[in-house]
Structure 1
Amino acid sequence: MPDTLSVHLNRERPRDLAPEATTLETDRSFVLSFVNHGQPLHVHVQPDERLADIATVSETQVYVAANETRTVDVVAPRDAGPADGTLRLVTGHGAESENVTVSITQERKDGGPDVAVDDTLTEKQSGPEPDTGVSLRHAVIPVAVVVAVVAAAGAIAVAVPDAGAVVVGVAGVLAGCGVGAYELLR
């Protein structure tokens, strides 16, 4: 879970800006949580050049509605390396501003070990492939039933005089059944 830095707005006076801490040390991305205690307000988030080189602020001009909370992600890639920088927070067209010193370290702050991913995880695993085919018995029975029904319809069509169109249709269906049987059995 990323670190969160809460910044209180309009708590003591209009356009008031009060981060809970003026320094933040983290080993990864973090979240700015703007908590507005009064009227709607725009906050400008400006990373200095050193911080902007390794971290990306998801939203640099943030509108926080009255008595609402808005969050902004500051994303630093895991391999960014250690760096120090300043995040400038500005309200009231520059009338109020606060600086937060940010230190991004390579040491994990949660005490957990880094997870090493072995390259063999990207290789295809060998072994028996799952059986996704249809058994021959399950395929032949429906085809045999269809062929029998079509053959019976064909016999009736031949017995009835002037049923030439029916004979052609039955022949087409039989040809289709033959192709289906061939595909199943090859």
Structure 2
Amino acid sequence: MPETLSVHLNREGPRELDVERAALETDRSFVLEFVNHGQPLHVHLHPSETLDGVVTPAETQVYVDEGETRPVDVSVPRQSGPVEGTLDVVTGYGAEEATVAVSVTSERKDGGPDVAVDDTLAEKTGAESEATTSMTAVVTPVVLAATVVVVAAAVAIAVPDAGALAVGVAGVLAGVAVAAYELFR
């Protein structure tokens, strides 16, 4: 799960910014979570020149409605560090500004794999066994219907003229009936 950095808006006054931490050290993408305690507000995000192209917010102009909590993903490509810079958070057309010092490291901070894998991943779930059962439920009527159609065609070839036509039509109808029964039971 990506790291989250909260930014509180309008907590003490209009257009006021309160960043949870002034510095962030990361080796991967993170989330800026804007929590608005007052009136609707536009927030602008500006990575410094050194972070440009390394730290990329999903949105650089964010509208946060009254009482809304709005997450914004900030992507950091793998193996893009080490690099340091700032991410400016601006409201009120530049009247209020907060700066977060961002350090992108090249080494994993936790020393673990890039993707966290839970032990339950190896366990078989009910959905897998259900998928096997539903596949059997579909294949069985199709095979049965195909068999009926092939038998009807063989009889139609063996029986001359009008009788062959009647047997063929009966065979096709029987196949369709069996398939419908199996699919909708």
TM bucket, shorter chain: 0.5 to 0.7
Q: What is the CA-CA distance between 1:25 and the residue it aligns to? A: 0.4
Q: Which residue type is aligned with residue 42 of structure 2?
A: H
Partners in 2 of 1:141 and 1:17 — Cα distance?
73
1:111 Cα shift? 3.8
Q: Give the drift of 1:149.
A: 3.3
CA displacement at 1:54 relative to structure 2: 1.3
Using structure 2 for the length normalisation, give the TM-score: 0.66
Letter in 2 for 1:76: V
Aligned residues: percent identity? 59
Please list, as runs of the form range in 1=range in 2, the aligned pairs for 1:122-141 lying within 5 A after superposition.
none
Q: Look up the SS of the partner of 2:43 in the other structure.
A: strand
Partner of 1:49: 49
Matched, 1:102 2:109: no
Residue 25, structure 1, aligned to residue 25, structure 2? yes
Matching residue within 153, 159, 173 for 1:146: 153
Partner Cα distance (2:6, 2:92) in 1? 19
- Note the C-alpha offset of 1:110: 2.8
- Once superposed, which parts of structure 1, at least 4 consecutive aligned residues long, lie more than 4 Å away? 138-142
Question: What's the secondary structure of 1:45's corresponding residue?
Answer: strand
- Note the C-alpha offset of 1:109: 2.1
The letter of the residue matching 2:153 is V
Whole-angstrom CA distance in 2 between matches of 1:48 and 1:73:
17
Distance (Å, rounded) in 1 between the aligned partners of 2:146 and 2:82: 67
Corresponding residue for 1:37?
A: 37
Q: CA deviation at 1:85?
A: 0.9
The 2-side partners of 1:93 and 1:62 are apart by 13
Deviation at 1:51, TM superposition (A): 0.7
Q: Tell me, in whole angstroms, the C-alpha distance in 2 between the residues paired with 1:32 and 1:140.
A: 58
In 1, Cα distance between the equivalents of 2:145 and 2:32? Answer: 61
Which one has a bigger Cα radius of gyration? 1
Instruction: Give the paired residue count.
Output: 138
With over 3 angstroms needed to count, the CA separation of the structure-2 counterparts of 1:92 and 1:140, relative to structure 1, is closer
Q: Distance in 1 between matches of 2:158 and 2:52?
A: 78
Equivalent position of 1:87 in the other structure: 87
Structure 1: how far apart are the matches of 2:4 and 2:42?
20
CA distance change for structure 1 residues 74 and 140 in 2, over 3 Å: closer, same or farther?
Answer: closer
Q: Which deviations, in whole Å up to 9, do the C-alpha atoms of 1:91-130 show, x marking residues without a partner?
A: 0111100110000102222342468xxxxxxxxxxxxxxx
Q: Secondary structure of 2:88's partner? A: strand
Which amino acid in 1 is paired with 2:24?
A: L
Structure 1 range deviating more: 83-92 or 52-61: 52-61
Question: What letter matches 1:90 in structure 2?
Answer: V
Q: 1:140 to 1:111 in 2, by over 3 A?
A: closer
Counterpart-to-counterpart distance in 1, 2:78 and 2:146: 57
Query: Structure 1 regions of 5+ residues with no counterpart?
Result: 116-137, 159-166, 174-186
